Structure 1
Amino acid sequence: MTQDASFEDGKERPLRLKALDAEDLSVIATLTQDAIFPASEMQYDRKARRFGLLLNRFRWEDAANATARKRGYERVQAVLAFEDVTRVQTQGVDKSDPDMVFSLLGISFTPGDDGTGRIELTLAGDGVIGLDVETLEVILRDVTRPYVAPSGKAPTHPD
């Protein structure tokens, strides 16, 4: 009999996840909620049809253990890459200021015809990044060791 993987199985190892359907994407969306990134770390490679972000993501998978370890809450830098992107649109996103910092609140997918669809990244402050894709393929990969979150707190959202 096999068992599903648990967060404890990952321990301190970096995450490497791939989403090929909406259910997989919801896992990545949960793990990247409240990630922050500057405008300078957002890039669309039209030739490779790839849109990528270098995020400072909150380690939700380890938040419950943070106080028990007395190490505090952690963040980690991660690459979030979207493959087969045919068009990128933004609303309420000022890309002219490379120091502007965005906070990722959610990721959703609306399927289209024949496997195509639209991915929307919802940002704090009413910003949205829309990605038209031929197929759903999203990769999340941690690229640094975890570090103590500068705020020392877990992100919260008013009701």
Structure 2
Amino acid sequence: MPGGPAQNARFQPLRLRAEDAEDVIVLSACLQDATIRCADMTWQPQQRRFALVLNRFRWEDEGQADARRGLIRIEPHIRVAAGLHFDGVLKVQTSGFDRGDDRAVLELLSIMAEPAGDDVEDPAAILTLVFAGGGAVRLEVECIEAQMQDIGAPFPVRRAPQHKVQD
């Protein structure tokens, strides 16, 4: 049975930490094309934490699925629920989407990190989650401190995300 316990046993949950801009590049690549419901994002100002639950596309499985196609009957594309949080968040700003629309689904394109000021020694940063269609979440953080972890069983999906290549 596709997506059953026997098939999911071969998947290792991914767990990542980001503590600098280079780590954010890796985190961004692993979360590219994740889908997020607006209702699954929250800022906890007292804890200075921004957290979200998303369904990430397991790009790391795509090469393995291509090699197995035709040999074993499996679903070739996989998503998994994952939790992501950023600590030390001082301010959150959103643009390009309605935070109040609980049914809205956003597709994450990338996470960008840039220094918050001119002092390169200052660990403060601006993190921007960029979504398809022009939406964004901008986080002002004391320092880059993010964690992501797969939290659910992988599940098959029909299609891999597609991107138009511009000339």
The two structures share one fold, judged by TM-score above 0.5: yes
Shift of 1:90: 0.7
Say whether the 8 Å CA contact 1:14–1:141 is kept in structure 2. yes
d(CA) in 2 for partners of 1:48, 1:81: 11
d(CA) in 2 for partners of 1:56, 1:69: 23
RMSD of aligned C-alpha atoms?
1.1
Shift of 1:16: 0.9
Q: Which residue of 1 aligns with 2:7?
A: none
> Are 2:157 and 1:158 equivalent residues in the alignment?
no
Matched position secondary structure for 2:133: coil
Letter in 1 for 2:154: P
Q: Which residue of 1 aligns with 2:90?
A: 86
Q: Aligned pairs, how many?
A: 147
d(CA) in 2 for partners of 1:76, 1:31: 12
> Are 2:113 and 1:109 equivalent residues in the alignment?
yes
Shift of 1:68: 2.9
Instruction: Give 5+ residue unaligned stretches, structure 1.
Output: 1-10
Q: Which residue of 2 aligns with 1:123?
A: 131
Q: Deviations over 1:121-147 (max 9, x none)?
A: 000110110000001011110001111
Q: Which residue of 2 aligns with 1:16?
A: 15
Shift of 1:67: 3.0
Q: Which residue of 2 aligns with 1:5?
A: none
Shift of 1:37: 1.1
TM-score (norm 2): 0.85
Q: Which residue of 2 aligns with 1:63?
A: 62
Query: Larger radius of gyration, structure 1 or 2?
Result: 2
Runs of 4+ residues deviating >6 angstroms: none
d(CA) in 2 for partners of 1:127, 1:69: 36
d(CA) in 2 for partners of 1:139, 1:69: 31
